């Protein structure tokens, strides 16, 4: 007996308020008479609503490539007299379907379609011939039950003294269908909060666990969450781990789309990482990055600073190839997370190294993203130290530098750059980063605590430069031994224990 089921791929999102992010959801043409409520959009006569937008366009290319599906359907709940048009868009624009709908009360309209050509994206327009209401909508697929992969998401959140932001995100997840006992999503997500501040009260919930942890930094906190996910793998049937920062802003739809994608991934993509885009918090319609390319530490952000309200930003937005996903939102298959443990960088580059170790190119899908404060608003001497030290270690491990000579030259160029740019506060941290790098592999693996970055008064500002120049002969004579000590075969088995992060 053939058993089929229906799965929602992505829902049509209705914004809760009208602001500058509105065109991430829909565009208006014509009279532009609209009223947005929590559960519907009311269109005045003569208004055309288009979903040729970042959050509501359906990328049939991506869904076909990653899942093998070839046919889909659009389902809308509408009321009023309207002209419905469905378009395929990419190299050209095709009208796939059109119909006049006349509904005195809410009715369901369903349109089946398939991909017309490679790279095609799908969107619909509603033209209000009389006053019209769009209640809700979704893109769906009919699949065989055996086509559906088992999926359980372990969401790992590392937090340190950000109670307000953490609880905001926790509220979004707890109010989602993953925690609704009457929903098919129920029981398909569990959350592991690692409290590096050791200050939060315990949480009594079958699917939410909180662990008090020493302040071992972001990498230590995420590692603790990963180790706890391994312990609970059989209990919950965990298939994927989602690393997520505590201070991002999220929407539940990102997790629904991620879940649907993972349920349908073809065999050739089931071991891949799924990257969540980062949008800016200060300008919420700007994509800061889709995924990352390491580039020896001079990171390339794919689609950087792109206004995602613009049509040209949508073409090929899911086809970009990055090297790794930042841990503001990164989903790893348990098949990898079960075997591989992050290195204890404390802060920064843990996501870089883990992603480079995984290899491959993270999968991208519009609507899977977070909003986050960007890096330039979070720089400090301590952050600069970790950036410099950890970058040198990653570049050594992955042979980004061909020799210790190149590494030293790049480090010294950093010193000169900061001096010319009058970023004198970076000079001393850059020196200490090199000094600690030169202590080698064994020192790095045996120290996971926070660095004490107290800058001596005499070395504050530009006075650090002459001290660095005096240190150069000493640094140079030690670099070869340190460079050769960072050995991947030594590092990864040692880091996999991470015994200091486990209670007892």
The stretch 253-269 carries a mean pLDDT of: 98
pLDDT at 1: 65
The pLDDT confidence band at residue 499, using thresholds 50, 70 and 90, is very low
Task: Tell me the percentage of the chain whose pLDDT exceeds 90.
Answer: 84
Judge whether 498 lies within some domain.
no
Q: Of 346, 377, 408, which one is at a domain's C-terminal end?
A: 377
Judge whether 503 lies within some domain.
no
Residues 243 and 344 reside in one and the same domain: yes
Judge whether 166 lies within some domain.
yes
Residue 378 has pLDDT above 90, yes or no: no
Judge whether 124 lies within some domain.
yes
The pLDDT confidence band at residue 503, using thresholds 50, 70 and 90, is very low
The stretch 39-63 carries a mean pLDDT of: 96
Structural domains in the chain (count): 3
Judge whether 499 lies within some domain.
no
Contact 16, 38 (CB under 8 A): yes
Residues 262 and 400 reside in one and the same domain: no
Judge whether 497 lies within some domain.
no
Q: Of 99, 115, 145, which one is at a domain's C-terminal end?
A: 145
Residue with tokens 């059109």: 98
pLDDT tens digits for range 179-212? 999 999 999 999 999 999 999 999 989 999 999 9
Indicate which CATH number applies to the domain containing 50: 2.60.120.260
Residues 360 and 431 reside in one and the same domain: no
Residue 498 has pLDDT above 50, yes or no: no
SS3 state at 86 = strand
Judge whether 501 lies within some domain.
no
Judge whether 208 lies within some domain.
yes
Indicate which CATH number applies to the domain containing 186: 3.90.550.60
Contact 225, 159 (CB under 8 A): no
Residues 463 and 350 reside in one and the same domain: no
Chain center to CA of 332: 11
The dihedral region occupied by 178, where left means phi > 0, alpha psi between -120 and 50, and beta the remainder, is alpha
Helices (H), 265-380: 334-337, 350-358
Residues 124 and 181 reside in one and the same domain: no
Q: Of 95, 128, 145, which one is at a domain's C-terminal end?
A: 145
pLDDT at 504: 28
Kindly report the number of other CB atoms within 10 A of residue 132's CB atom.
24
Residues 130 and 242 reside in one and the same domain: no
Residue 321 φ/ψ, nearest 5 degrees? -115, 115
The pLDDT confidence band at residue 377, using thresholds 50, 70 and 90, is low
Chain center to CA of 323: 13
User: DSSP label at 357?
Assistant: H
pLDDT at 455: 78
pLDDT tens digits for range 210-234? 999 999 999 999 999 999 999 999 9
Average pLDDT, the chain: 93
pLDDT at 496: 46
User: DSSP label at 272?
Assistant: S
The pLDDT confidence band at residue 494, using thresholds 50, 70 and 90, is very low
Give 306's contacts (C-beta < 8 A, 6+ positions apart). 286, 287, 313
The pLDDT confidence band at residue 493, using thresholds 50, 70 and 90, is low
pLDDT tens digits for range 450-467? 788 777 877 888 889 999
Residue 209 to residue 200: CA distance in whole angstroms:
12
Closest CA to 318 of 121, 159, 487: 121
Residues 342 and 429 reside in one and the same domain: no
pLDDT at 491: 79
The pLDDT confidence band at residue 108, using thresholds 50, 70 and 90, is very high
Residues 223 and 156 reside in one and the same domain: yes
The pLDDT confidence band at residue 500, using thresholds 50, 70 and 90, is very low
The pLDDT confidence band at residue 490, using thresholds 50, 70 and 90, is confident
Which range, of 15-19, 295-299, 323-327, 498-502, averages the lowest pLDDT?
A: 498-502
Residue 168 to residue 333: CA distance in whole angstroms:
26
Chain center to CA of 57: 19
The stretch 49-77 carries a mean pLDDT of: 97
Residue 178 to residue 162: CA distance in whole angstroms:
24
Residues 332 and 294 reside in one and the same domain: yes
pLDDT at 83: 98
Residue 52 has pLDDT above 80, yes or no: yes
Residues 290 and 196 reside in one and the same domain: yes
Q: What angle do CA 10, 165, 281 make, to 5 degrees?
A: 65
* Containing structural domain, residue 289: 149-377
* Most confident listed range (380-384, 425-429, 493-497): 425-429
pLDDT at 403: 93
Residues 69 and 84 reside in one and the same domain: yes
Residues 446 and 367 reside in one and the same domain: no
Residue 7 has pLDDT above 90, yes or no: yes
Instruction: Reduce the secondary structure of 105-136 to three states and give it as a string.
Output: EEEEEEEEEECCCCCCEEEEEEEEEEEEEEEE
Closest CA to 322 of 298, 355, 354: 355
Residue 502 has pLDDT above 60, yes or no: no
Greater model confidence, 378 or 404: 404
């Amino acid at each position: 007996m053939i058993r089929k089921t229906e799965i929602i791929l992505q829902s049509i999102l209705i914004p809760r308020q009208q602001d500058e992010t509105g065109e991430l959801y829909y565009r208006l043409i014509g009279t532009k008479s609209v009223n947005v409520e929590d559960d519907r959009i009311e269109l005045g006569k003569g208004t055309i609503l288009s979903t040729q937008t970042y959050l509501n366009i359906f990328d049939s290319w991506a869904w076909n490539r990653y899942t093998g599906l070839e046919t889909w359907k659009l389902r809308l709940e509408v009321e009023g007299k309207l002209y419905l048009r469905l378009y395929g868009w990419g190299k050209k624009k095709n009208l796939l379907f059109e119909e006049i709908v006349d509904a005195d009360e809410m009715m369901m309209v369903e349109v089946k379609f398939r991909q017309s050509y490679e790279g095609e994206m799908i969107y619909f327009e509603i033209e209000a011939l009389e006053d019209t209401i769009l209640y809700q909508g979704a893109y769906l697929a009919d699949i065989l039950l055996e086509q559906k992969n088992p999926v359980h998401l372990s969401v790992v959140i590392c937090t340190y003294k950000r109670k307000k932001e953490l609880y905001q995100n926790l509220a979004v997840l707890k109010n989602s269908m993953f925690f609704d006992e009457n929903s098919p999503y129920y029981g398909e997500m569990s959350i592991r909060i690692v409290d590096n501040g050791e200050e939060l009260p315990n949480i009594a919930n079958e699917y939410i666990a909180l662990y008090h942890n020493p302040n071992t930094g972001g990498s230590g906190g995420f590692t603790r969450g990963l180790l706890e996910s391994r312990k609970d793998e059989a209990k919950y049937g965990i298939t994927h781990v989602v690393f997520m920062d505590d201070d991002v802003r999220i929407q539940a739809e990102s997790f629904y789309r991620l879940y649907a994608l993972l349920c349908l991934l073809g065999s050739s993509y089931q071991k891949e990482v799924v990257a969540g885009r980062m949008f800016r918090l200060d300008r919420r319609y700007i994509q800061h990055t889709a995924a990352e390319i390491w580039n020896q530490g001079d990171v390339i952000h794919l689609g950087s600073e792109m206004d995602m309200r613009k049509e040209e930003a949508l073409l090929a937005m899911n086809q970009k190839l990055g090297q790794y996903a930042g841990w503001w939102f990164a989903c790893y298959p348990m098949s990898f997370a079960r075997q591989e443990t992050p290195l204890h960088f404390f802060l920064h580059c843990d996501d870089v190294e883990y992603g480079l170790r995984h290899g491959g190119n993270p999968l991208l899908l519009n609507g899977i993203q977070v909003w986050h404060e960007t890096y330039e608003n979070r720089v400090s001497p301590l952050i600069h130290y970790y950036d410099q030290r950890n970058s040198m270690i990653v570049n050594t491990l992955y042979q980004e530098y061909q020799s210790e000579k190149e590494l030293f030259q790049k480090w010294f160029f950093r010193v000169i750059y900061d001096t010319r740019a009058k970023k004198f506060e970076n000079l001393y941290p850059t020196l200490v980063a090199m000094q600690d790098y030169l202590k080698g592999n064994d020192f790095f693996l045996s120290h996971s605590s926070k660095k004490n970055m107290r800058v001596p008064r005499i070395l504050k500002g530009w006075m650090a430069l002459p001290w660095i120049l005096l240190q150069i002969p000493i640094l140079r004579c030690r670099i070869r031994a340190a460079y050769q000590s960072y050995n991947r075969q030594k590092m990864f088995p040692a880091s996999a224990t991470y015994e200091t992060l486990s209670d007892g």
